Every structure is written in C-alpha cells, then in structure tokens.
Structure 1
Amino acid sequence: MNNAELNLYNKAKVLICDDDPTYLILMRDTLEAQGFEVIEAADGDTALIKFFTMQPDAILLDVEMPGLSGYEVCQQIRAHKSGKDVPILMVTGADDYKSILKSYEIGATDFLPKPIRWPMIAHRVRYMLRSRDALRELKNSQEKLKYLAYYDSLTGLANRENFNHHLEKFLLLAERSNHHVGVLFIDLDRFKRINDTLGHGFGDRVLQKVAKVLENNLRDSDLLARGADEGLTSEVARLGGDEFTIFLSQVDHIDDIAQVAQRIIQSLSQPIKIDQFEVTVTPSIGISVYPDDGLNVTNLMKNADIAMYHAKEQGRCCFKFYSDSLNCRAIERLELEQELRKALENDEFELYYQPQIDVEKDQIVSVEALIRWHNPKHGLVSPAEFIPIAEETGLIIEIGEWVLKTACQQAKIWLDEGDNECRVSVNLSSVQFKRGSLVGYIKTVLEDTQLPANLLELELTESAIMTDVEENIVRLQQIKALGVGIAIDDFGTGYSSLSYLKKFPISTLKIDRSFITDIDTCSDAAAIVKAIIVLAETLNLAVIAEGVETKGQLKTLQSFNCSMIQGYLFSPPINAGDFESLLINDLHLVAN
C-alpha cells in the first residue's frame, strides 16, 4: 500500500463498539494515533444509532455485549441498503471454529480474536477499506458492462438483446393469460438525408430527441410492463441506426395497437428544433401481433420488419399490419432483386419511346425514353416494381447509365438516318443525380455517341432537386453548360419553393398526369394546371402535359395555350422500330 493510499484511508471514520471501557479506550487511542476518526459506542443499540446517523467507513464490533450482541448489530446493518458493503470486523474472545463461521455467515468482513495485537489493528482496518473499494470498483465495472450489453449508449434505450429478452418473457405470460402482444418496428423516413446534409453528430442529437418523444408520448399501459424485480429504465428499444421497436403487452383489442401507432406518427412528425435548425422526421411503422403473426421473438420481429417495408412502399409516414400476403410479397421482392442483378448482363432491358407532340405544329418534337424489363420468369415487369428496388440496392446507377447511353445512341441513329430532328428525354433518379461523377459521365456519353447536346434532355423530380438546394443549383448549371436541357418531371406533386425554382437552370416543366386526369371535369384540377402554365410562361419555360388520354383533356389544355402534349391519346410507349415508323411517316397525329 503506497503513501497516498495510507493517507486516504487514515482519514476514514471508524465506528468501534465494545462494552469493555478498557478495550474501547485502547482501540480509540490506537486508531486515532494512525489518523483515523473514531466514533465510540458502548452497546449495540448505540452502535446502530451512530451507524445510521454518522455513516462510518468501517465498523469494529465486540461480539458479546449486553442487549444487542455484535452478531445482531452486524445483521441489522447488513439488512440496510447503506450497510451492504461497509467493512465489519468482529472482535471476540472466542476463537473457536463455530464463532468464526457464524461471523462470516451473518456478513462480517473479518474476524479478530482477543487479546488484540494493537499494532496490527490499524492495518486490518486499512486492508478492509481497500478490499471494499476494490469490490466497489469491480461492481461498478460489472454494472457498466451490463449497461453496455443491454442498453444503447446514445439514447439510453434498451438495445436489441435487452428488447428480445423481455419480449420473450412477455410472450410466455401472454401464452398463459391468452393475451395478444403487439410488436411495432419503427424506421425513420429518409433519415440518411439529415446525416448527409447536417452531419452524423447532428443526426445523433435528432435520434436522442426521437427517443425522448417516444418515451414521453406513449402511455405506461401501452408499454413494457414492469415486474417487481425487472428494474427496466427503458420502454422503447433502439435496434441501431434510425430503427426503434416497441412491444405492447397484454393487448385486448387489436385496434389499440393501431391507436398507439397513429399517436407515434403524429408525435414524431412534429418539427424537431436543434440549435438554429428545424428538421422533420416521419416514421414508417410495421406491426406484427402475437399469436397471429408469430409465436416467437424471431418471427414477430421479422414480420414487423416486413410490414414496415410495406408501409414505406405505400408512401411512408404510415403504419401497416403484417399479413401472409405481405410475407409472400417480401419473398417475391427478394427474388426480383436477385434477378434484377442479372438483368443487364443478360440483356433483358429494352427502351420504349413515347412521343411528345407539338399540337400547333402537328408533329413529334421530342420523345421520352422509358425502360422496360423483359424478365424470363415474370414476363414484362413494371418499372413501378423494379425501379424502387434498383434505387434501394444501388443498381439504379448501372441501369441509369445504360439507359442514358442507349437513348443517346438511338437518338443519334435517327438523326443520321435523316429523320426529323428529335430530342430525347431521359429520367434521372435522385440517386444518380447525387453522384459527383454524373456531369463527367453525361459529357462522355455525348462525346462517344456524337449526339448534339441540345438533343438530350434530362428529367428530374422536384424532390430530387429540392434537397441540398445550393449544391444542386451548381450541379444543374454544370449540366446546362454542356448544352443539355433540364426538365422537372411530375411538377406539382413535390414541394418546390418558387423562390428557388427561378434559380434553377431548367428549361421545361412537365405537368403531372394526376392533374390532367380530370382537367376537363374538375375545376380545381383545371385551375392548378392553368396556374402552372402561367408560371412557366412567366419564367420563360416550356410546358409539357403528361398523361393526355382524351380529346376533352386536349381541348382544355389548348384553351390554356398548352401546345406540348404527351399521352396515350397520341401513342403509348413503343419500341424503337415502331417509333421510327412514326417519324418516317410524319403522321398527322392530332387530326387522327
């Protein structure tokens, strides 16, 4: 023991208790000579009072005393939470084996027989204190390890292992009591956008806020039930990243789970303010129910996860219950993903082309290239099915590059064959648009295919360009500098700001088909379309109306001075050969 430890322990308070005044004096003088602060008690009752009022660091107890014996005092101290680890040295004239054994059984730290060797008593006290501190340090380390093993260090919520452990226990209770248990799998929509734009440190603070919202918002009756010995501090679990889970025990009515899920959506969808920033995160929630959707933790968690992905497919910021049909859908999706990875290699993709008509000139002026997948097993797979998978897996990069190159090659063939000069329009996903190599790739494709840049137009959605606006303006200006046109696809369905819209170097607005569908029967739809056309004229932008299928829609659009039309009224998307026939024959499209 070094000098620093000696000085530390010499300042300790020591309670001594003995009914022999001589021993009491000798113990006090010996310990005080070594620097200890001594508290005296001549009987057991006094010793207990002084222990609870003065909280000594160590205790020396005489075993044989009138009234309460040293054994009884030791037992009462050990029974109290503040006396669990205080060192207690039993002092007695009896040194038989039974007395020693009894001392240790009732919780004594050490045993010292009389007559006492006085020079040794201070050393015994110091080593008892040192042992106490070592045990406390070990206990703290164990508790810290236990915390790290069962709780999430960022949010303080239960982690996956903790959650699964308690869910398993409650499933057993539910089986006995014939109750339902609801499992909610929560994923934050587009959370990666926050990390990418404001940094992971900021994202971590958002996750901490989300954890608090979940804890504060949910009623106790909706959450993890607590057993008397559970000591749970968290009612929600964080699985990692932006994924959280909750289980609802002893559910009587399935509708109660839906109410909880809706309350979570409403509370999490409120803006979160951190420093000078205000962000909004919305949750997609998948729900599985015991025993209908699984009898064990693994199946319930898997099925809740499947349901959560279905919620995302349905537009996010909603909840969905699991069902067998969803499980089948998930398996089909996995198979489709595996087959999609081989589609380029197996030459299964084809571009179709849908003409864009200038109704005033009665001719095709441009064409939109649309990808089609001819799958050997499933036949023609809709882009609505495989494009989201391609975006999630990153395959959209390779597929998108193929589409751009193939469309430019085809446009150059038509140009070289002497057909009407026709601009080709190619869709870019938000994933492609964010790549730093995009501008260089566009330039390379134009150089390789020798297609004039003015015969290429790239289509982007509002949502793609409205995240990281200032950075996107620079990228769009770089594309525009190549001589390539830029169109905003599905305009009116996103969240573009008019103050930013005029800063974007775009050339065309494409009115979404949802507004065109009832333009000739719904005054609100007509008003929106007319407003978009006026806006485009003000900003000196071209306008294309998508999804035109009836002459009534065409007539209304013409009354709004909208001359550029695309839709089934004129032609569905067709393969390159059929489209070439349209160009060669120069059909009077509107008249027909």
Structure 2
Amino acid sequence: MVCDDDPTYLLLMEETLSSDNHKVLTAANGVDALKLYIQHEPNIVLLDVHMPMLSGFEVCAEIRKHPKGKDIPILMVTGADDILSIESAYKHGATDFLPKPLRWPMVAHRVRYMLKGSETFNSLKQSEEKMRRLAYIDSLTGLPNRQSLDESLEEAIWFAAKEQQSLGIMYIDLDNFKRINDTLGHDFGDKLLKKISEKICQCVKEKAGFPDALIDVIDIQVFRLGGDEFMILLNQTLHDDDVKVVAQSLVTCISELVSIDDYEVALTPSIGIAMYPRDGANVTELKKHADVAMYYAKSMGRRGYRFYAESLNENAMKFLQIEGCLRNALSNDEFMLHYQPQVCLKNNKIISVEALLRWKSPELGYVTPSDFIPVAEDSGLINELGEWVMRTACFQAKAWLDAGMQDFRVSVNLSSIQFKRASLLNMIKRALDDSGLPASLLEVELTESAVMNDVDHNITRLNQIRDMGVAISIDDFGTGYSSLSYLKKFPINTLKIDRSFIITIDSDPDDAAIVEAIIALASTLNLTVIAEGVETHGQLKTLNRFHCDIIQGFYFSKAVSAEEVTEMMQHPLNPALFEQM
C-alpha cells in the first residue's frame, strides 16, 4: 500500500511497483490509508510523512496498534533527511525510510528486499510459535501443559501475594484409567482423555452449578500434566466453600458416561486441593500438597475430593513407602498364602478354604491387605501379584489332593483389574495345567461391584471361566447393586454374604431379614451360600436356622498356613462348636 498526497509521486510509485509484479493499493491521505490497511492488510506500507488529516507518523503509529500490524514492514518516504526526522520515523514504528527526491529504480529493489526480509522474519516467527506450542501445549488435548502450569502458577502466586488474595489448585487423577487403557488399548485411552479434557473445559467454562457470586469472580485455568492427570488453577478464590462447589461440579461432570467407539465408559476423578498461602508459599509446595490430598481422596474411596491437611503427609509417606517396598517384595519371596477354612453345616466338616494373601516386609513388618492391595492396584503390580497367588494356591491344592484330601476346593480372589485383563483365561489355564489341579477344585471370587460393571461383557467372561470347569463365587454380596434379573444370568455357583450383615444377625431384625432373604433367593437359583465373618455361636445358630450352607469365620478358625490346614484335616472339628444349633 502506498500513501502520498502528491498525485505525481503516487502515480509514479504505483507504476514502478506494478511493473515489478506487485499489486498496489493507493491512498491520498492518512485517513484513507488507515481504512485501506484495515480492509486489506497489505504486506508492506509506504507512507509519505507530510499528508493532510493524518501525518505519515500518525498513520504508522496507528498501524502498529493493529493486531496484525506489529511486524509489517513500513517504509517512510520523506523530503527531510535530518537526524531528528529519521529518529521520529523510527520512534513511531517505521522499519526504514526513503529520502526524496526518489531514485525510482531503487524503490522497487528496496521494497523487494524488505518483503523478502519480512517473509524470513514471519517464517522464523512461525517456527518460534511452533516451538513455543510444543513446549507449552499438550499435543493430545491442546491444553496448556506442565511447563505452562508452573509458569502460570508462579505468576498467579506473585499476583496473589501482591494483592493479598488466595488461590487454589486442584490435582485431578482419573480412577482406574490404567485398567481401561490396558484393556481397550492406548488409542482408545487417548480418545477417552480428549473427551475428558473437553468435559473439564466445558464444566469450568459454563460454570454449571456455580453460585451466582462465583460466576463473575473466579478465574479458572485447566492444564494437562500428562497421562490421566490434570490440574485446575483457581485465581481470586474467595473461600474453601467456593472451591468445594467447583470440585463437586467437576466430580459430577467427569463421572458422566462417555461414549467412544460403541463403548460406554464411566470414569471417576479423585481430586486433591491445596490453597495458597495456607498450604504452601511456592509452586513446589502447592503441587506437592495437592498431590498428597489427591492420594488421600483415592484412599477414601475415590470419586471425590479432599483438601490438604498437614496430617495427610503421614498417609502419603506411608503410601509411597509401601509402594517402594512392594516393587521388590515378590522377587524377595516376602509373600505367603494363608487359608481360611469353610465349614459345611450339613456334615460339620471343612470342605474348602479361601486363599488369603499375607505380606511380611523386612522394612515394614506385617502389612495388612487393606493397606497394600490398593497400592498394588494403583501401581500396576496387582496383575503380577494376582498371578502368583493363583499359581501358589493351585499348586497347594494339588498337593492336598495328592495327600488324599479328595474334593477339597480352594477359592482365590480376583481383583476387578485382573478380571478385565484379556490374559485372565490364559493365566488361569496355565496355573491349572502347570500344577495339575483339576479345574473343579478351583473357585474364583469376584466382588459384586466388579461383575456389575459392563454386565453383558462380564457375563461372557464368566461363561468362559465356567466353561473351563472353574467355579465362580460372588463375594461381599448385598453391599453392591446387583439386579436380580442379571443375577439369574450370571453363571455363578456361590454367593458369599458380606460380614457387615453377619455381625448383628442375632440382634438386629433388619440384618437377619436381609440374610434370610439372600439365602432364600440363592436356594431358588440353586446357588450355594457362604456366610463370612462368623465369630459367635449366636450368629452360627441363626444362620443354621436360615439353612445357610457354609460358614467361614473366626468362630471356627482364622486364616492359617497350609501346614496347619493339613493338620486340622486330620481330626474332626470339636463337636462343642455345633451344640444347641
């Protein structure tokens, strides 16, 4: 674009540049020049300094204010060649200047040179922008990444300190994402992460469920840290109650079903929250404490949020300590199986056992399953550990069979993560084949909640296990959400009534009615019933009255070593245990 109030100069400039294959726009004053620039956004601008309405300097300054005018080459054409005029040209944003009278052949060369330089500059700028994007933007979701979070959080802390405000961060981890990723593949996992990131962004953008007082106040940014981890930065946070509203909205939003490739998947979040300045004075402390709170949310049942508290550090350190020791425990032969007898009330004999995992760590001592199993699941060690349990139990059961203990079945627990693995059937088959144990002497236990997720697929998987000749038991029955219509379809052999109903069965009419109903239901479906957690004679007497099939609990025996089970089987149980039933 060329702007000059001298018609002769304007015409000569247009002819010179047109002959060099440039498309030329012309204006005779500064106002028209600005209109042309905004309308066409030319690649280079030549401005006469002295013009009516707006000078060349003023037009140059206005172009530099335009969003796309920051880097465009601007050539000032002036009859003044004194140092003050030149400095004024550069001060207003000119790239270069040409003194009048013009040497017309040089004008085309200068324009060509400046355009080439501009193209090189723009190319470098695009490369720089691409590198910046790679450095600061997550390639999968398009969200700002960990590096971007660190810089944004540092800036937010500086501003909050200056204005004496508070801010909050939320560390979001998706529960059981690894299981879905391993089962359905990494491509599916990537699609799921993109969907979840969209849901998070939509939630914070729409501020659904937020009180009116928050909508115009709180500033929220979303980041992806990597894997299934996200971070939310809440600027200008008012109170903990405000943060709770945001956290609960995120939990609700993320937990909704997602449809991908003909699958419906439900993921839930565990969210840890840390507040500035209460929970940390810098980026490192806030992130660390949000992480600690997130692990606490997981340990409290997942699908929820927790605020950081100083006392949580102890729990986090315990989790990390268990995880560190757990990684080498299997190779160091630190695990053992104990077996809890199951007593048949028809003949008052031990007819089967449940294999229960025990861990004695050289560093930690005895660690309870309730402490180390969740860690094994979160760290991905549960599959290797579960296979060891399966193989050890099968070899022990075969040893009992060889010792003359006929029809003596062993029951092995499967975690929901193991149950979803494609390699499960092969793992069970290898354990049976290598040990030589008949499949009829193995039973696998699954929790009620594990089989009720993706029911149709699970029925197929259960049928495959049954087709191998392995029995199936539903553990903790009554605590989940089984539908009776589905229960009829499940190819199961046994229902285990959860101990929570057994504790007060002889004193609480409601629990007694529930247990009696479960036993009656199982009888109608030709299922065996095991009551676990039986500790008193009163409980045993009530269960016998309800015609429960099998009893398991401390009343008869705690879980003991294989050698102790062998010893117990050499003698009948004490008849006094069954008196006055």
Report the residue type matching 2:176 in the other structure.
Answer: R
Q: Establish whether residue 340 from structure 1 lines up as the match of residue 329 from structure 2.
A: no
Q: Deviations over 1:360-392 (max 9, x none)?
A: 222222111212223344433211112222233
Q: Deviations over 1:128-180 (max 9, x none)?
A: 44444443443344334333322334434322122221212222333345444
Indicate if the aligned counterparts of 2:171 and 2:231 stay in contact, CA closer than 8 A: yes
SS at match of 2:397: helix
Deviation at 1:77, TM superposition (A): 3.6
Correspondence for 2:232: 246
Q: TM-score, normalised by structure 2?
A: 0.86
Correspondence for 1:202: 191
Counterpart CA distance in 2 for 1:295 and 1:39 is: 57
Q: Which moved more, 1:323-332 or 1:268-277?
A: 268-277
Counterpart CA distance in 1 for 2:355 and 2:529 is: 18
Deviation at 1:466, TM superposition (A): 4.3
SS at match of 1:354: strand
Correspondence for 1:453: 439
Q: Establish whether residue 215 from structure 1 lines up as the match of residue 201 from structure 2.
A: no
Indicate if the aligned counterparts of 2:269 and 2:302 stay in contact, CA closer than 8 A: yes
Counterpart CA distance in 2 for 1:66 and 1:209 is: 53
Counterpart CA distance in 1 for 2:39 and 2:318 is: 71
Give RMSD over aligned pairs: 3.4
Indicate if the aligned counterparts of 1:174 and 1:181 stay in contact, CA closer than 8 A: yes
Q: Deviations over 1:378-410 (max 9, x none)?
A: 433211112222233343344333333333343
Indicate if the aligned counterparts of 1:453 and 1:483 stay in contact, CA closer than 8 A: yes
Counterpart CA distance in 2 for 1:254 and 1:353 is: 48
- The residue correspondences of 1:545-560 to structure 2 (distance < 5 A) are 545-560=531-546
Deviation at 1:339, TM superposition (A): 2.7
Q: Establish whether residue 365 from structure 1 lines up as the match of residue 351 from structure 2.
A: yes
Question: Could you say if the C-alpha distance between residues 224 and 253 of structure 1 is closer, same or farther in structure 2, counting changes exceeding 3 Å?
Answer: closer
Report the residue type matching 1:15 in the other structure.
Answer: V
Deviation at 1:301, TM superposition (A): 0.7
Q: Establish whether residue 513 from structure 1 lines up as the match of residue 502 from structure 2.
A: no
Question: Could you say if the C-alpha distance between residues 153 and 555 of structure 1 is closer, same or farther in structure 2, counting changes exceeding 3 Å?
Answer: same
Correspondence for 1:143: 129
Report the residue type matching 1:249 in the other structure.
Answer: N
SS at match of 2:472: strand
* Structure 2, unaligned runs of 5 or more: none
Correspondence for 1:231: none
Correspondence for 2:391: 405
Deviation at 1:564, TM superposition (A): 1.5
Q: Deviations over 1:4-55 (max 9, x none)?
A: xxxxxxxxxx333133x43333334444555655554445455456555665
Q: Deviations over 1:485-525 (max 9, x none)?
A: 22122223334454554444322121222222333444543
Counterpart CA distance in 1 for 2:245 and 2:319 is: 29
Indicate if the aligned counterparts of 1:214 and 1:236 stay in contact, CA closer than 8 A: no
Question: Could you say if the C-alpha distance between residues 125 and 511 of structure 1 is closer, same or farther in structure 2, counting changes exceeding 3 Å?
Answer: same
Query: What is the total number of aligned residue pairs between the two structures?
Result: 571
Deviation at 1:420, TM superposition (A): 6.5
Question: Could you say if the C-alpha distance between residues 503 and 138 of structure 1 is closer, same or farther in structure 2, counting changes exceeding 3 Å?
Answer: same
Q: Establish whether residue 387 from structure 1 lines up as the match of residue 377 from structure 2.
A: no
Q: Deviations over 1:297-339 (max 9, x none)?
A: 1121112112111111111011122233321222223222333
SS at match of 2:543: helix
2:339 to 353, 376, 379: 353
Indicate if the aligned counterparts of 2:76 and 2:96 stay in contact, CA closer than 8 A: yes
Deviation at 1:203, TM superposition (A): 1.0
1:576 to 559, 562, 577: 562
Correspondence for 2:551: 565
Correspondence for 2:149: 163
Question: Could you say if the C-alpha distance between residues 498 and 145 of structure 1 is closer, same or farther in structure 2, counting changes exceeding 3 Å?
Answer: farther
Question: Could you say if the C-alpha distance between residues 40 and 249 of structure 1 is closer, same or farther in structure 2, counting changes exceeding 3 Å?
Answer: closer
Correspondence for 1:191: 177
Indicate if the aligned counterparts of 1:425 and 1:457 stay in contact, CA closer than 8 A: yes
Indicate if the aligned counterparts of 1:16 and 1:27 stay in contact, CA closer than 8 A: no
Correspondence for 2:278: 292
Counterpart CA distance in 1 for 2:247 and 2:317 is: 25
SS at match of 1:536: helix
Q: Establish whether residue 534 from structure 1 lines up as the match of residue 520 from structure 2.
A: yes
Counterpart CA distance in 2 for 1:222 and 1:158 is: 22
Question: Could you say if the C-alpha distance between residues 172 and 415 of structure 1 is closer, same or farther in structure 2, counting changes exceeding 3 Å?
Answer: same
Counterpart CA distance in 1 for 2:427 and 2:176 is: 27
Counterpart CA distance in 2 for 1:278 and 1:474 is: 17
Deviation at 1:528, TM superposition (A): 3.5
Counterpart CA distance in 1 for 2:42 and 2:399 is: 95
Question: Could you say if the C-alpha distance between residues 197 and 494 of structure 1 is closer, same or farther in structure 2, counting changes exceeding 3 Å?
Answer: farther
Counterpart CA distance in 1 for 2:237 and 2:388 is: 52
SS at match of 1:306: helix
SS at match of 1:337: helix
Counterpart CA distance in 2 for 1:81 and 1:52 is: 10
Q: Which moved more, 1:290-299 or 1:92-101?
A: 92-101
Counterpart CA distance in 1 for 2:378 and 2:229 is: 17
Deviation at 1:273, TM superposition (A): 5.1
Q: Which moved more, 1:456-465 or 1:27-36?
A: 27-36
1:257 to 232, 243, 265: 243
* Structure 1, unaligned runs of 5 or more: 1-13, 227-233
Counterpart CA distance in 1 for 2:321 and 2:108 is: 76
Counterpart CA distance in 2 for 1:54 and 1:209 is: 36
Question: Could you say if the C-alpha distance between residues 88 and 481 of structure 1 is closer, same or farther in structure 2, counting changes exceeding 3 Å?
Answer: closer
Q: Establish whether residue 430 from structure 1 lines up as the match of residue 411 from structure 2.
A: no
SS at match of 1:584: coil
SS at match of 1:175: helix
Correspondence for 2:480: 494
Indicate if the aligned counterparts of 1:545 and 1:565 stay in contact, CA closer than 8 A: yes
Q: Establish whether residue 590 from structure 1 lines up as the match of residue 578 from structure 2.
A: yes
Question: Could you say if the C-alpha distance between residues 113 and 158 of structure 1 is closer, same or farther in structure 2, counting changes exceeding 3 Å?
Answer: same
Correspondence for 2:511: 525
Question: Could you say if the C-alpha distance between residues 245 and 222 of structure 1 is closer, same or farther in structure 2, counting changes exceeding 3 Å?
Answer: farther
Deviation at 1:531, TM superposition (A): 3.7
1:316 to 268, 283, 302: 302
| Aligned residues with identical type, % of pairs | 54
SS at match of 2:311: helix
Indicate if the aligned counterparts of 1:213 and 1:268 stay in contact, CA closer than 8 A: no
Counterpart CA distance in 1 for 2:321 and 2:35 is: 75
Question: Could you say if the C-alpha distance between residues 490 and 61 of structure 1 is closer, same or farther in structure 2, counting changes exceeding 3 Å?
Answer: same
Deviation at 1:68, TM superposition (A): 4.9
SS at match of 1:235: strand
Correspondence for 1:175: 161
Q: Which moved more, 1:330-339 or 1:251-260?
A: 251-260
Q: Which moved more, 1:185-194 or 1:434-443?
A: 434-443
Q: Which moved more, 1:418-427 or 1:40-49?
A: 40-49
Counterpart CA distance in 2 for 1:98 and 1:452 is: 101
Indicate if the aligned counterparts of 1:213 and 1:267 stay in contact, CA closer than 8 A: no
Report the residue type matching 2:444 in the other structure.
Answer: L
